[in-house]
Structure 1
Amino acid sequence: MLYFEDDFIWENEESIHVMMQEAYQKILDEKEKGVSGYFTLGEDSLPIMQDALAYAASNEFVKKSDTTVVIGIGGSSLGTKAIDSIFKHRNTDVKKMLFLENPDEIDLSEKLAVIDKEKTVFIVVSKSGATIETISIFKEVIERFRLDYAGRDKQQIITVTDENSVLHQFSRYYGIKSFIIPANVGGRFSVLSAVGVVPLSIAGYDMKSILEGARVMAENFFSKKENHILKKAAFLTKYKKETPINVLFSYANCLEDFTKWYVQLWGESLGKIDRQGNNTGLTPIGHIGSIDQHSFLQLIMQGPRDKTVTFIKVDNFEKEIKVPNISLKFIEKTDYINGYSFNELIDGECKATKESIIKEGINVDAITLDVLNEKNIGKLIMYYELLTSLCGILLGVNTYNQPGVEIGKKILLKKFHLFTRKGIQ
């Protein structure tokens, strides 16, 4: 189960309700017109999952492999990486996952050095099929491991891309297994499509339960059983000038990559020029409690009042480690926590931090997971995707494009073409 609560300070509740109604009608229209296809991925991706599992069962190399390498960046890897980070500690029978994302030579060299080609499945993920970082890293993998993609090694390569993209054409030409991303599902909304479903299913994760959680959240929302999402979107966008920054504090280390996924989803979807030609958006900041309380809480408490704070916490980590009943000379003042579990400690820190922020008059909301399980994470993913779409609607922007990112890609292309013409390799 997921539990939601807020301590928002409302000034005009009637205007919030008007915004909620407007946002609901427009997101329902987006769903019905197929503007974005992520709404129904909880159901639509089940055949993809079954296809991936069937392929893994029939491919002798995949069956004996112990490592799945995902070559992708941004929306092609962040969500998948988040799910792996959350559940790898409790799944001893899943394949190890490595993510080759950034063309950072140090990071890339370290990761490539630990790959055993004979036990590894390589999954290349690119919606366009020509993401420069992804394809460049794929080329390095081919050369480093002498990967015979046209012959005997094609069985250990899988691609995930748009239908008829250049990567899809490459795959068909060489007989490489390829899975298709729905055309109306953008990269940062794609974790529940083939982008995440294929590598996570092949690695051995329970994608069926994750998809079920997402399906339930979407179904409940469109049945008006999750109106708190509408309220939050209306509140955040109504006060966008006063509090344009949302700080997400996730109280579990394993949620760090989920927090990074949220930052991309929020930032790339909402930082736009609106229909009136104004620069707008809501700025995401991701932190891990209780670690980052010691670096960022002071700014929240006594710095500029331009932030809202969201807490994600887990009620039960399903571990039982207690603070030992030991008294250390000169440090006896810490003994009050002796005998309590670390779960109780981190939960207490979360509650105390939240209460202190509320006392300062800062707007706060919280999401509580009773346990870290697949269904809950599926719900949480869909919750954030719906919230992002609703905020985009109320901000008056196109939530699903990224023209600012495309400008950088065009400049990069021009620079390298210029270098090539000058004979610089």
Structure 2
Amino acid sequence: EAPAQQSAPAQQSAPAEEKPAPKQETPKPAEQKPAAQQQAPKVEQATPAPAPKPVGTAATTPKPAPQEESTPSGATPYVTPLVRKLASQHGVDLSTVKGTGVGGRIRKQDVLAAAEGGKAAGGEQQKPAAPAGPAPGVRPELAKLRGTTQKVNRIRQITAKKTLESLQTTAQLTQTFEVDVTKIAQLRAQAKKTFSEREGVNLTFLPFFAKAVVEALRAHPNVNASFDDGKKEITYHAAEHLGIAVDTEQGLLSPVIHNAGDLSLAELARAIADIAERARKGGLKPDELAGGTFTITNIGSQGALFDTPILVPPQAAMLGTGAIVKRPVVVIDETGNESIGVRSMCYLPLTYDHRLIDGADAGRFLKTIKHRLEEGAFEADLGL
């Protein structure tokens, strides 16, 4: 945060210009901007003691103010409109809050601390912000690896070989779109209980992304394609065989849901849950690990906002789905009016092979997915 704009603190400059106070006149304090570290909580004492301390000469003639009992102007450090609004919402008097920001600026955390415990966050009570939750412990199977040398397992060998080959043999780059999935979040919250009872699986966000992707692949066959450098040919696939990246104890697997474009939202949800469970338990069939034409990887499963997926050749593209987070964004209504609203947002990074997909093609593909997700017309799929 930018420091509060301060002139030289008045209380420090006073000794250079000390003059005896006029008899029985109460000098009006100079219009001083606060030095946050010296601002005492008892600033309301405007009535002077019988022998007032000398203060610096103000720019204007001192005026007696025997009846003045309010806090002098500038007693509260500058605060942003957002912090003022927050203080108003929580009924916090900003003049009683001691800021912990640079230059004594009052921060959001100070207001929340005052609202929760009636304590001003600052001074000796200032503590680092508490973490959202306890840090996850190290997985036991990883903890025992410390200080050892191990043979690389088969899955890790394949991953190492294929990812390196992918980067060396394709022209990869990544384009990212930001998507508002608020409507989907609302539909999911409304339907997840009955959906789980009816379908036997939990309703996550991934089936919504998968449904939007397979529909977009049909509309953009140049993304659902493969480039053969030896034959100088591009194959545009007749079906959408969707790979789903799955994190297992042995490593990363990308089992394939064949003919995913023919499945409903509920069928995709069941297929994703089934194939992910069998991938983790070692129950995949050989044909479920081959034949994919496009892959989705849920990079937000551990909270990541975005990443740069690596292609699975001969596939031409892979989509990442970032963590869904609530934050304030500009919302435009049907009439074009703008407002600030709290929305559920996520990033969708698409890595694609530039040998057969241009940047504009990638943009059009992502735009189709974005429109489908933000429109959120999944009521019929959910039985709503």
- TM-score category, normalised to shorter length: under 0.3
TM-score between the two structures when normalised by the length of structure 1: 0.23
The alignment's TM-score, normalised by the length of structure 2, stands at: 0.24
Q: Which has the larger radius of gyration?
A: 2
Bigger helix share: 1
Larger RCO of the pair (alpha carbons < 8 Å, separation 6+):
1
